[in-house]
Chain A
Amino acid sequence: MILLWLLMVTVAGALVAWALDRWSGRASRWAALVALLVDAVLLAIAWAQPPRTGPLMSPGTWLHELNYPWIGPFGVSFHLGVDGLSLLLLALTVFLGIVAVSASWTEIQDRVGAFHLSLLLTLAGIIGVFTALDLFLFYFFWELMLIPMYFLIAIWGHENRADAAIKFFLFTQAGSLPMFVAIVVLFVIHGHATGIYSFDYQQLLGAAVPGSISFWLMLGFFGAFAVKLPVVGVHTWLPDAHTEAPTGGSVILAGLLLKTGAYGFLRFALPLFPADSEEIAPVAMVLGTAGILYGAFLAFAQQDAKRLVAYTSVSHLGFVLLGIYAGTPLALQGAIVILLAHGLSTGGLFVVVGALQERFHSRRLDELGGLWAATPRLGGVALFLALASLGLPGLANFVGEFLVLMGTFAVSPTLAAISALGFLLSSVYSLWLMYRVFQGPECHLRVAPDLGLREMVVFGFIIAGIVWLGVYPQPVLDAARPQVESLLTPTTGPASMTGR
């Protein structure tokens, strides 16, 4: 039930915020914030409760589960469930939602209610994606995330928002349609074979699909998640979307939407098609390595600070792809840690760039400069986040990236060694950003105040999260372990279905 509450509170918050705009924009903001805080409390309760079915750490058990039949004739059920991995990502969702609302506090002055409606509906979609255990329902939420996000970019974005929003939407749609076809085909095949027509995740996990078709089905899923992650080659929607989106939108995009791609790989693409995933693993790993290097290469070249940060996402998530398809426990755990670390650090960097834009009305590296003296707190936070981004040991990103490379080394030393260059290249772009924005002679664009209390509180939480994850990541690793272990013992055939 708590999962349903999570969804309903978010949607309710969205509607209330929209309605309150009539009185004042501030009321809308507070409504959104309150809804997310309630979500946080619910999540804390969910985490603290003991598991319903089976012991905590065995794979295939869900900590909280909710199952209502929905569209009977098609075998669609409203099936939600969380395990450690989902809970981690849900925590990230709620946290980054609060960060996004806070970052938009002064930036969005126009149609505030509608903004928060879109924001919270996107979050609701994301929550749904992370909890859905019915493939049809998953697809429903997958598409649901997109549309409010499109509006966020198209209405409240920056100069080139129209093109960026359409590009984002078309790319994601083009990627998702093969997945939908794959889902339906899977449904049909399973139905023919066993007589049970159902979209349920647990049912389809054990579906016996003939080899020739299963590869194509896997590709369908792979394509959708590849566009979302994004995998290099289909990544070009990302810089435009991130740059043109408003700060809150960028935080949600980078911090959460990209993670849904990774989650898709971990929860659906790999468990549903283990043999085919093994086949495509070398290709995927090469793509991951290419993404790491190419993303870093592109980031360094940018003149727009926000675009630079956007490309760093491509680079960091290359590590995730590499780790997921390397398939060793170290690599998988590392990938999951990177998801959290990247969400925090890159989300934070987008808030920094947003703060820069609000204060100095520019994002261009050739216009900004020497701002440390003018805004030392902002400089300090930016330095910390830049260091996190370049993988400084002791901080969260290092733990993830190191685990991934350590795990990949056992499978492919060459790729691990080449990917390690990512450490060097990431330090190039991170410190370049610091150099051009905060160091050197002062640019004297405008006189602007340093970070205020609200911003410092939010940054404080982000920094604390990054440090904690970097110094003591064990709780996260433990929470993610069941899913990782279930990925390493592939389920093939109905006989080895777990959990049900």
Chain B
Amino acid sequence: MLSLLWLVPALPMAGFLILALGGRRLPHRAVSAVAVGSTGLSAAIAILVSATHLRLAPGGGTYSQTLWQWMRVGDFAPSVTLSLDALSLTMMVVVTVVGFLIHVYSIAFMAADEGYGRFFAYMNLFVASMLMLVLADNLLLLYVGWEGVGLCSYLLIGFWYKDRDNVRAALKAFWVTRAGDTAFAIGIFLLFTSLGTLRIQTILEDIAGYPAGAPLCNAAAALLLAGAVAKSAQLPLHVWLPDAMAGPTPVSALIHAATMVTAGVYLIGRMHALFLKAPTVLFVVAIIGAATLLLAAFSAMTQHDLKRILAYSTISQIGYMFLALGVGAWAAALSHFVTHAFFKSALFLGAGVVIQALGGEHDIFRMGGLRRRLPMTFQAFTLAALTLAAVPPLTLTFNSKDLILNQVWLSGRGGIVLWTLGMAGAFLTALYTFRMVFVVFLGPEPMKPVGKPSLWMLVPFAVLSGLGAVIGAPELLNALSGVTGFYHYLNSAMSGPAREFGLRETEWVFQAVYVAVSLIGIALAYYLYELAPALVRSMTATRVGSRLHRMLFVGWGFDWLYRRLIGVPYVRLARLNRGDVVDLLYVAVARISRGVNILLSRTVNGNVRWYVAGVAAGAVIVLGLAVLL
């Protein structure tokens, strides 16, 4: 059974090839069958393989499957090998299941689009690349998947390519992540040159022999971090994600919420031993996480595009994951990833339902009162929102964020400061999430939805929302009664410092505080947006208020900074040098010889007597020289 592992990435890849070569000619039904079928089959096999793996090695263990030797030059011999352990298993299941559900959703969402076949081809390629990324046994193969998902992100953000802005957003995403990828590549070179291998397990074992803080570890970790920061849209390379919302909503759900953007989290988690040997870099990870989660939450509060709110929310939530990684709480970060994948993609799918129902409207302030017209959507959306804001009891998944915050508090080394930032972020999360819910679903109804949303869209949406709400149950059980759960299973693949509260009661107190903060946030949102909406308007109308609002709105100005520092100068300088300054040298040579030619041509004036004079003068000179010398 385990040997079917290779089918998990191979099936979506096969789907891609079929659709890429013949997608245009196939009817929509066939395209859906191929795309959804391949993903669904892949998900089923993933679950089967995972179940088998869990049965055979319940405490954790690794299964490897080599497909072929990619190349061999001397010591450098990467092979295409898939490896399955607790971490990759988790990621694989999440990617395939969420991917499958979003594919189903897309059948209806993209039904009217002329690029139907192209869309599903790219989506399949994405799933295949992402799976290759998480199942890779060595860094080179991981890099292949890493770039592959970046490619699909570019292709899908710019899917509606006729609009220049969409393509520009796609280019921005690709270029920013490529910058990070370049750093990642340099990190790979460094690791290979120093350790002689790219096999992840071997690297992690060899690294154990280095002292903490060794230059190799610091440099390699920093470079890998740069790649992760770009891919996961963390500060300061987060600028591409809000604009990436130009792509179709299923793309935003799958790539820019659930999976690709978490690749950075996966990378750091996977290479945890390396990061443990570079404590400074790890601390930077935590700082980046804390700063990002807060800044993005602030920005989310000011957005009025429904998808951009969710985009900033994603950036913020991944900030939590980075924060967890930064304090060494690998399992906490990954379990938050799992829950986030479900509820965030659910939120995006719900947003897609709303947007399509209103004929393409994105601005939440033009929406309202949809609770009555789209009841199912309202319920599923609110459930997912409650999960995001971490509020029991409807959702059982309220404590994934809380686990992170607990670990941060216990980590010492400025942990309390980071914890406070995380708490502020939690408050803001509840605030902006329910700002969104209240404005969109409650209140007056300026726009009426057109028709009813298709079941193909509602069912996956509801399933994801529901799954998001219950997936935290095992951890909840763990917290309540000490039953070993998911958390500890993840720890088998990524060992880290184990921190626990001294007393169970302390943990209860913290939990209550977290819930209270979220409830206060929701209440404030209700007050500000339902009871006293004019208050917000008056605050943003003041001079300070409007400046602040503007800065938060544009994501703290990083975009502007990059454009001024890098974008505009590069373009201007390139255009200036269009004719190639080096060529001037050779053009000068040509011009000089032309000039000399013109000069010398003056002696050829057709006048016979000049020529004779020349001959005579020459003869005199030569004879004179001959006589004298």
A residues with CB within 8 A of B: 167, 171, 232-233, 235-236, 239, 297-298, 300-303, 329-330, 333, 370, 372-373, 376, 380, 387, 392-394, 399, 402-403, 405-406, 409-410, 413, 416-417, 420-421, 423-424, 427-428, 431-432, 435, 438-442, 471-474, 477
Contacts and interface: CB of A to CB of B under 8 A. Distances in A.
5 contacts: A302-B578, A329-B74, A423-B178, A424-B181, A474-B70
Q: Which residue among A235, A376, A387, A420 has the maximum number of chain B CB atoms within 10 Å of its CB?
A: A420
Contacts of B577: 297-298, 301
B144 A399 contact: no
B74 A330 contact: yes
B178 A303 contact: no
Given A372-B161, A440-B162, A440-B167, A431 B174 contact: yes
Contacts of A333: 73
Nearest to B575: A301
A298 B577 CA distance: 7
Contacts of A393: 143-144, 147-148
Nearest to A401: B185
A298 B576 CA distance: 10
B582 interface: yes
A39 B101 CA distance: 53
Secondary structure at the B interface, as helix, strand, loop or mixed, is helix
A428 B175 contact: yes
B113 interface: no
B578 A473 contact: no
A406 B171 contact: no
Given A372-B161, A440-B161, A440-B162, A399 B186 contact: no
A329 B73 contact: yes
Interface in B63-84: 68-74, 76
B193 interface: yes
Contact of A474 (B72, B147, B186, B582): B72
Contact of A427 (B143, B178, B192, B573): B178
Contacts of A473: 70-71
B24 interface: yes
B158 interface: yes
Contacts of B586: 167, 171, 236
Chain B interface bracket (under 10, 10 to 19, 20 to 34, 35 or more) = 35 or more
Contacts of B179: 424
Interface in B148-185: 148, 151, 154, 158, 161-164, 167-168, 171, 174-175, 178-179, 181-182, 185
A409 B174 CA distance: 25
Contacts of B70: 471-474
Contacts of B51: none
Nearest to B192: A406
Contact of B193 (A298, A409, A441): A409
A241 B189 CA distance: 36
A405 B181 CA distance: 14
B88 to A, nearest CB: 19
B583 interface: yes
A300 B570 CA distance: 10
B281 to A, nearest CB: 17
Contacts of A402: 140, 185
B569 to A, nearest CB: 12
B355 to A, nearest CB: 23
A258 B182 CA distance: 27
A239 B577 CA distance: 14
B161 A235 contact: no
B580 interface: yes
Contact of A424 (B24, B167, B168, B178): B178
B397 to A, nearest CB: 36
Nearest to A297: B574
B186 A441 contact: no
B358 interface: no
A405 B71 contact: no
A298 B162 CA distance: 27
Given A239-B580, A302-B578, A416-B186, A373 B162 contact: yes
Contact of B171 (A235, A372, A376, A435): A435
Cβ-closest 5 pairs across A and B:
A301-B574, A393-B144, A409-B189, A236-B583, A439-B161
Contacts of A239: 580
Contacts of B583: 236
A236 B587 CA distance: 10
A166 to B, nearest CB: 9
A403 B582 CA distance: 30
Contacts of A472: 68, 70-71
Interface string B417-444: 0000000000000000000000000000
Contacts of B148: 392-394
B144 A394 contact: yes
Contacts of B69: 474
B204 interface: no
Nearest to B160: A439
A410 B193 contact: yes
Q: Most A CB atoms within 10 A — which of B20, B76, B140?
A: B76
A392 B147 contact: yes
Contacts of B185: 402, 405, 420, 423
Contacts of B181: 423-424
A373 B24 CA distance: 12
B410 interface: no
Nearest to B161: A439
B137 to A, nearest CB: 15
A421 B175 CA distance: 11
A441 B165 CA distance: 11
Given A300-B574, A392-B151, A431-B171, A235 B582 contact: yes
A291 to B, nearest CB: 11
Nearest to B578: A301
Contact of A303 (B154, B571, B578, B582): B578
B190 interface: yes
Interface in B558-583: 570-571, 573-575, 577-578, 580, 582-583
Contacts of B174: 427, 431
A302 to B, nearest CB: 7
A298 B167 CA distance: 22
Nearest to A481: B73
B167 A439 contact: yes
Nearest to B179: A424
Contacts of A235: 582
A145 B39 CA distance: 53
B189 A416 contact: yes
Nearest to A376: B24
Contact of B73 (A392, A403, A413, A471): A403
Given A392-B151, A427-B175, A441 B190 contact: no
B186 A435 contact: no
Contacts of B147: 392-393
A239 B147 CA distance: 30
B589 to A, nearest CB: 10
Contact of A420 (B76, B143, B151, B186): B186
Contacts of A410: 193
Contact of B582 (A232, A387, A423): A232
A78 to B, nearest CB: 35
Given A417-B189, A420-B189, 4 more contacts: A167-B586, A439-B164, A441-B164, A477-B71
B292 to A, nearest CB: 23
Contacts of B162: 370, 373, 439-442
Nearest to A387: B151
Contacts of A298: 574, 577-578, 580
A337 B24 CA distance: 34
A232 B582 CA distance: 9
A310 to B, nearest CB: 11
Given A394-B148, A472-B70, A440 B164 contact: yes
B144 A406 contact: no
A420 B174 CA distance: 16
A15 B69 CA distance: 46
Nearest to B80: A471
